């Protein structure tokens, strides 16, 4: 049974500029069941990699940086979404930080899952879909392969279908 107060963290990277626009605090979690051939980081698949942190500990780390926004990545944050759901809810309630999240699942699958929905409700942008080596494109913004999409999560939930995130390089969203 997943503990909603715990996130299994492999590392927290401060001020990254590759996991979404602007400076971001990236939470790299353990656990991924997607096994994409050519995955850049297979050591993150093991759910026991890294160590447990409480949601409060991860939150305190994030808010210690007043300016950086936030990215959830891994591994796959949706492998065990409840800790991230609680963290995202707290970030949205207590800060104005935006949240990007990477996943190997697609948006249309995630909306059918109750636990996944708890996390989606507080995300701004979802970078979705498995990494596909044959569609790899290094020119893509914040994605590895061309099947992956930048999902505007709130607009997509409202519309009941995928709405692409309208990326504006001049706005740190
Ligand atoms: S979803 Fe990401 S971490 Fe998981 S196997 Fe695919 S590329 Fe690797």
Among all chains, which residue has been given the structure tokens 């790299």?
Answer: 28
For residue 164, being part of any structural domain is answered with: no
Is 166 within the bounds of a domain?
no
Model pLDDT, residue 2: 85
Pair 102, 71: CB distance under 8 Å: yes
Report the separation in Å between the CA atom of 94 and the middle of ligand 1, taken as the mean of its atom positions.
30
Q: Does 76 sit in the ligand 1 pocket, CB within 6 Å?
A: yes
Residue at 172 is within a domain: no
Domain for residue 64, yes or no?
yes
Q: How does pLDDT run along the chain (173 residues), one tens digit per residue?
A: 789 999 999 999 999 999 999 999 999 999 999 999 999 889 999 999 999 999 999 999 999 999 999 999 999 999 999 999 999 999 999 999 999 999 999 999 999 999 999 999 999 999 999 999 999 999 998 999 999 999 999 999 999 999 999 987 766 55
> Of 76, 79, 134, 142, which is best to mutate to test ligand 1, by the most ligand atoms within 8 angstroms of its C-beta?
76
Find the domain containing 148 and state its range. Answer: 6-159
CATH of the domain at 55: 3.20.20.70
Whether 168 is covered by a domain: the verdict is no
User: Is 112 a domain residue?
Assistant: yes
Preceding amide of 75 cis, omega within 30: yes
Flag whether 102 is in a domain: yes
Residue 39 lies in a domain: yes
What is the total count of domains within the chain? 1
Single out the residue of 114, 110, 7 nearest to residue 50, CA to CA: 7
Q: Which residues contact 149 (CB under 8 A, 6 or more apart)?
A: 107, 127, 128, 129, 143, 162, 164
Residue 153 is predicted with a pLDDT of 98
Separation of 131 CA from ligand 1 center, angstroms? Answer: 6
């Amino acid at each position: 049974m997943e503990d909603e107060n715990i996130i299994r963290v492999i590392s927290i990277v401060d001020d990254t500029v590759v996991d979404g626009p602007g400076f971001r605090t990236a939470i790299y979690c353990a656990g991924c069941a997607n096994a994409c051939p050519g995955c850049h980081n297979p050591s993150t698949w093991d759910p026991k990699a890294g160590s447990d942190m409480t949601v409060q500990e991860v939150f305190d780390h994030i808010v210690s940086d007043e300016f950086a926004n936030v990215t959830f990545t891994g591994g796959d944050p949706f492998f065990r979404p409840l800790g991230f759901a609680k963290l995202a809810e707290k970030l949205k309630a207590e800060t104005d930080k935006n949240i990007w999240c990477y996943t190997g699942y697609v948006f249309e699958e995630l909306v059918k899952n109750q636990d996944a929905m708890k996390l989606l409700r507080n995300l701004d942008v979802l970078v979705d879909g498995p990494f596909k080596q044959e569609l790899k494109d290094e020119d893509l913004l914040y994605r590895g392969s061309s099947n992956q999409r930048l999902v505007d999560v709130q607009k997509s939930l409202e519309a009941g279908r995928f709405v692409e995130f309208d990326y504006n390089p001049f706005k740190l969203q």
